[in-house]
Amino acid sequence: MRHCRPGTVRDTELLLSTSLRKVSMAIQNDAGKAGGRSGPGLSAFIYDPFYRGLIFQALIALAVIWTGYEIVVNTIANLQRANIASGFGFLGQRAGFDVSQSLIPFTNDSTYGRAFFVGLTNTLLVAALAIFFSTLLGFIVGIARLSPNWLLRKVAMVYVEIFRNIPLLLQLLFWYKAVLALLPQPRQGIELPFNSSLSNRGLIVPRFIPENGFAIVFAVFVAAIVGAVLLARWAKQRQMATGQQFPTIIASLGIIIGLPVLAFLVMGTPMTVEYPELRGFNFVGGVAMKPEFMALLLGLSIYTASFIAEIVRAGIQAVSYGQTEAAAALGIRPGIATRLVVIPQAMRVVIPPLTSQFLNVTKNSSLGVAIGYPDLVAVFSGTVLNQTGQAVEVIMITMLVYLTISLTTSLFMNWFNSRMRLVER
């Protein structure tokens, strides 16, 4: 005889249900006897979904623990046999290698720990820039795919179908080895405005060196952003209360651009510009965007933009045409209807997959290792691992970094989703 338990087993219910269990078991046994089928206690025990679940879970837990134990024991034995030190002490040791590009000061006298931060900042730098450019390009292409213009629509479609279906690694290698490597020597580099130059050493642009008082300009800039946000809130409140509109966008742009420029002039232009100069075979001065960095940024942006374009297209198409028609029926002009009716609803569909694309960009930036961009994986899981041999610690730290980024983003997404969810009445 089978016993049906209503509802689900939760941890909190566990104690209560166990005692209930005994009672119902007793009843069940009585019923079994009354029916003349005196089933053995053991099979009733095995066929009971509750105990079955417990046994099954215990087995799984045992298997997991046993696997973990085996891994730990084997790893320790293997490490001892290979005479590899363990622990995180290596992070304080002298690294002894150079990194071609770093946002924070790094020499070969710096520690492995500092090398880790160099890799991390490089990863975050290229990821942030690639997210920016791919979103920009992706929105343009996605909207172009819905354009009434046949030519534009087809070009956008061809773009998406080509770049979405070719491995990112191949695209990176293509940009790096087949395009950027063919650029001329610095001496014959392609001249660009402001003494910039594009050559096989990368893109060299003038360097802006802030002087005393630039901090104040920056502070004014931050204050202007805060002011613009407050202004937008005030304008919205006023519109809600009185129906009067305020030109928020123009006013905020004016504040954000105008105030810092004013401060810059008032402080007496506290900045010098260092133009790159060709000396011998290479450039001196200026900031160089290395070919590795350019190839990675280009490849990541173009590849991800093709995915974002599809997300944007799907999002806009998900808003039913009735919404546009209803807006028209209310006398709202098409431009405003798109901005206030279609886009907010499309964003609800667009944002979750868009975030996962942003996560993909961050994870995919690790492919820079193939073209020599010093990101976290290249510097830490590559060079540091090779020098120290401490595979377990190094790879664990690397994975932990990516996991932290991913999980933080998905937590944020869950919060965002619950906030944006359609509340049905």
Residues lying near other proteins in the complex (CB under 8 A) are found at 8-9, 11, 49, 53, 56-58, 60-61, 64, 70-71, 74-75, 77-79, 81, 147-152, 155, 161-162, 164-171, 173-174, 177-179, 181-182, 363-364, 366-367, 369-370, 377, 381, 385, 391-392, 395, 398-399, 402-403, 406-407, 410
Residue 155: CB minimum distance to other proteins, A: 6
Residue 80: CB minimum distance to other proteins, A: 9
Closer to other proteins at the Cβ: 41 or 167?
A: 167
Closer to other proteins at the Cβ: 171 or 195?
A: 171
**Cβ neighbourhood burial of 225 (10 Å; 0-12, 13-18, 19+):** middle
Integer Cα distance of 395 and 382 in angstroms? 10
Closer to other proteins at the Cβ: 173 or 351?
A: 173
Integer Cα distance of 128 and 126 in angstroms? 6
The answer to whether 128 and 384 have CB atoms below 8 angstroms apart is: no
The answer to whether 361 and 127 have CB atoms below 8 angstroms apart is: yes
Closer to other proteins at the Cβ: 78 or 107?
A: 78
Closer to other proteins at the Cβ: 340 or 396?
A: 396
Closer to other proteins at the Cβ: 270 or 389?
A: 389
Integer Cα distance of 126 and 363 in angstroms? 11
Residue 53: CB minimum distance to other proteins, A: 5
Integer Cα distance of 27 and 47 in angstroms? 16
Neighbouring C-alpha atoms within 13 Å toward the C-beta of 283: 29
Residue 228: CB minimum distance to other proteins, A: 30
Residue 270: CB minimum distance to other proteins, A: 41
Integer Cα distance of 316 and 342 in angstroms? 7
Residue 79: CB minimum distance to other proteins, A: 7
**Tokens 């990176």 belong to which residue?**
172
Residue 149: CB minimum distance to other proteins, A: 5
Residue 57: CB minimum distance to other proteins, A: 4
Closer to other proteins at the Cβ: 49 or 96?
A: 49
Element holding 190 (H helix, E strand): strand 190-191
Residue 120: CB minimum distance to other proteins, A: 14
**Cβ neighbourhood burial of 140 (10 Å; 0-12, 13-18, 19+):** middle
Closer to other proteins at the Cβ: 127 or 203?
A: 127
Where are the extended beta strands (E) located within 182-276? 190-191, 197-199, 202-205, 207-210, 271-274
Element holding 113 (H helix, E strand): helix 112-144
Q: Which residues, in sequence order, are bridge partners of residue 274? A: 207
Backbone angles phi, psi at 202, to 5 degrees: 110, -165
Closest CA to 418 of 368, 371, 348: 348
Closer to other proteins at the Cβ: 108 or 147?
A: 147
The answer to whether 117 and 397 have CB atoms below 8 angstroms apart is: no
